[in-house]
Amino acid sequence: MPSGSHGFIQVSSENPAYFSFSDGSPYIPNGINMINPSGKYRNNPDSALFEIEGWMKNLSANGGNYIRVWLSQSFWDIEDTKAGEYNPEKIKRIDRFKEMARENGLRIKMTLEHFRSLTLQENNQSWANKSVYHTSNGGPLDSIRQYLTSDEGRQLFLRKVDFYQNRYGNDTLFFGWELWNEMNAMKGPEDDIFFEWNETMLKEVKKRFPENLVMQSLGSFDYDGVRPVYRKMMLLSGNEIAQVHRYLDLGARMEICHAPLDIIASSAVEEIKSYNPEKPVILAETGAVEPSHSGPSKFYPADTAGILLHDILFAPFFSGSAGAGMCWHWESYVDKNNLWYHFGRFNEIVKDIDPVSENFVSTASETDDLRIYTLTGDKTKLIWLRDKNNSWQTELRDGKAAELISGLRFDLKTAGADVSSQSIEIYDPWKNKWLTTSPEGSLLHLPDFKRSLIIRITL
């Protein structure tokens, strides 16, 4: 389907917890971070773009509908040699990326910047350094703080935004414009200047892209000290989407980040929703990492079934998010393990659902065997059953195969279901198989399954 056939993506005026297109039809994000090509084709841009196109095709073929790119990543960075000058070769790469996304029916979240310092002395992460802005390299600035506070720094940001606006305009292709990746990862920005900059720039970018969504992101929500920053940013005027990043990270200070991934994801969404942001909530970055984000998880090679990706996609939506969770490690995990079909399994559940008109309310409960995530709408009740005895700990760490759950009877009252005259369907996302059934009273005989099942009740 052409990317612009339904118009622009917007926060629903009827139900601001969800998205709709400008023609009123629903939009449920189902996608992945696709920040840059792998290092395999570092010196061959054509091959790198071909690699990205392959990922796009796999995502699109499985019902995926959006991706995120960092325009400031080295492969795309148009301002790579001198402050204020833009590289025509990099511009062509972005042009091609856009058209590949359009050809595959994918919307793009355009992340404008990601740098954290101007020198390696400030921050030794070379991938997060914007050295061309520093005075030692002919730039106008001597620190990140000067970037945030000075006219020169602010104009560097806005001139680039103006360039993109003049070149691309308010395209229906764009999911939206994100000011920065994890901006609080800068050294010492969590003060009034930081928030004033963000409030100002959210408004300035919105002026330039009035038909597109505008948003900001913060670093992984993995310690209590970041809570006030998250709360303030998610409620900030002009920040149209409440985004959260959280990973399975055994080095994180928050114990919740060591839990089964469905709990990690659902708790992140529930936390942000508790701020009552009156805007859509998205788990915009997640996955599994080595302690303190020191690399991709050592458990990825063993996850050939995609249990981590399954939880990433399903848990946020069933906890009240506006869409699926957005996985990192698109190349080293999802593509390497050929897990693209999981996006299709999520799409199978939501393709006929309009969350705006449903007015979904999310609840969670559990039995001895199951965690029960429920979305109760005006016309539909969706129930995701997750086996409590299966997780990354059992299957990936301990090497224990997922057990077949057989003969289980599920009491629909546990999920608040009145079963008087309803159509009940059960979907097995691991087999991609539906079946229609009827309860005996309130008891539903579940088919044999592993890991999880979804129940759809038409009210």
178-228 pLDDT, tens digit each:
999 999 998 655 578 999 999 999 999 999 999 999 999 999 999 999 999
Is 418 a residue whose pLDDT tops 80? Answer: no
Name the pTM for this structure: 0.97
pLDDT value of residue 189: 55
Question: Could you tell me the pLDDT band of residue 4, with boundaries at 50, 70 and 90?
Answer: low
Lowest mean pLDDT segment, chosen from 85-99, 119-133, 273-287: 119-133
6-65 pLDDT, tens digit each:
999 999 999 999 999 999 999 999 999 999 999 898 889 999 999 999 999 999 999 999
Instruction: Name the range with the highest mean pLDDT among 121-125, 238-242, 409-413.
Output: 238-242
> 423 or 419, which is more confident?
423
Q: How confident is the prediction for the chain on average, in pLDDT?
A: 96
Q: With contact defined as beta carbons under 8 Å apart, do 94 and 168 qualify?
A: no
CA distance 211 to 191: 30
pLDDT value of residue 297: 98
Instruction: From 219, 213, 2, 257, select the one nearest 105 (Cα to Cα).
Output: 2
Is 144 a residue whose pLDDT tops 80? Answer: yes
Question: Could you tell me the pLDDT band of residue 421, with boundaries at 50, 70 and 90?
Answer: low
Q: What would the two tokens of residue 412 be?
A: 């629909």
Q: Which domains does the chain have, with CATH numbers?
A: 9-355 (3.20.20.80), 363-458 (2.60.40.1180)
Query: Residue 198: which residues within 8 A CB-CB, separation 6 or more?
Result: 179, 183, 216, 233, 236, 239
Backbone angles phi, psi at 79, to 5 degrees: -110, 70
pLDDT value of residue 2: 47
Q: What would the two tokens of residue 5 be?
A: 């056939």
